[in-house]
Structures are given as structure tokens and as C-alpha cells.
Structure 1
């Protein structure tokens, strides 16, 4: 397999991963700025630090399921779900800077996106097993359903 074919299959996932790394740098910069601007720990610096820690705790899971969903099933819906997750994570982070109750919608929406990506991974693996052991390939049907279901992620 040549490198162009490999890049064709993963370039959207790579783009979302790069955007997420830039977002992590933004979060880290925000935490550093908030912590260095106050000599003592204030509630604002504690909230920023806690929001960053919460985002970083979920980050490996997000990356793993996004890449698995993209490789096992279809990269476009997985990358779209990844972009939506990054937007939701930004909303969560900013919401956490205000009242903690403002971050709850972002948290719940993020969980729904992670669940969708896990479901994509599971379906992709199940389809591979069907193809491997029974010769039945439902990937085209599943990709069509997944692409249509991705739009449902936009519903609040």
C-alpha cells in the first residue's frame, strides 16, 4: 500500500487530532495564565485547573475511539464526531470557568459523542468478524447508516 492511499484513509483523523492538540495547548496556556496571575489559589484558578484536568482525563479515550471508529468503519463520520466533540469540550471548558452548572450540558453531550464513537468501533469490528468468518460484508450499509446517524449528534 503506497503512502498516498494510507493518507487518503486517515487525513481527516489526523486533522482532528492536530486540532485537538492545539486545543490542549490553549487549555494549558489558560491554566498557566490563570495560575500565575494570582499568588494564592483562587476559586477561578481552581476551576480552570479542574476543567483542564477533566478534559485531559477523557482525552485518551476520545482519541482511541475516534481513531478506532475511523479505521474500523469510516473516517468521515468519525472525524465529524471528533470535531463536534472538540467543540463540546471547548464549551465544557468555558462553561466550567463560570458556574459549574454551565458545564453540565457540554459534559453530557461529550458523553453522547464518545458513546457514538464506541458504537462505531463495535459495529466496525463486528462487521470485520462477519466478513472474516462468514464472508458477509455489510460495511457499505453500515457506513451509510453511520453517515446519516452522525447528523443526529447535532441534536441537543
Structure 2
């Protein structure tokens, strides 16, 4: 009989990764969900975000927990306030940025999982949230070689 166990991820135990100028904390990775999904927290400083791009391998969903995010699809853009949910199916053009003067915090849900691996491969470990708050050197975009490997195409 296989033993099934639950996972508890306490905030103070978290490992953060700085990738493409954005801060990520992987809450659930594909290795824990049999590849079904991954769940991340992301914090965007003012001016940070992701350029217009598509994902060919997974759906990407955002739930804004703090602040206001600007979301765009190549033709239109919208200011998305705290408490909003954004769903991006595979192949849909999407981009996002923090146009405000405050940090934006959001949950990002990927199905199936995998993007968390790209973020960790591209990124730099940040030992504590406080280290990020004091971090001033940020990269704007991810490595194009990793984008291709993970089915992401910038638009």
C-alpha cells in the first residue's frame, strides 16, 4: 500500500528565486503534483513584469493578491486590481507589468507544471524576502534559449 502524505509550506521556510527581475516562490511543483500543476507566488516591483509572449505547453492563470497589475494581449491592455483572476490558455498572447508605485503580489497557477523549472534554472536564489526588498540589480527578460526549451515565444 502506498502512503499518501500532505505537504505544508510555511512562509518562513520558503525559498525565493529572482528570475527576469521578478521574485518567485514555488509553493507546489510538478514533482509534488504528478505533473498536474504548479503554483507560485510572484512579487513584482514597479516597472517589472513579463513581455508579450505565448506558452505552447501550459495554461497560465493569475490571481492578484496585492496591488494592481497591467495585463496586455498585443492589442489591448487592462488595469487588473487586487482580487482579480486572469486565465490565459495555451497559445494566447499575454504580457504583464507593474505600472504602479507599489509592489504587486500574485499567485500564478500553471497546468500542467514545468515552468517552475525554467524559473529556477534562469534565476538566482534569494535567501529571504528581505534580501529581495533590498535588491536593486534586476534582469528584465529570461534567457531566450530557456524560453524555446520551455515552449515560450516572445511576441
Report the TM-score, using the length of structure 2 for normalisation.
0.22
Name which structure has the greater RCO, CA cutoff 8 Å, separation 6+: 2
More helix by share: 1
Report the TM-score, using the length of structure 1 for normalisation.
0.22
More strand by share: 2
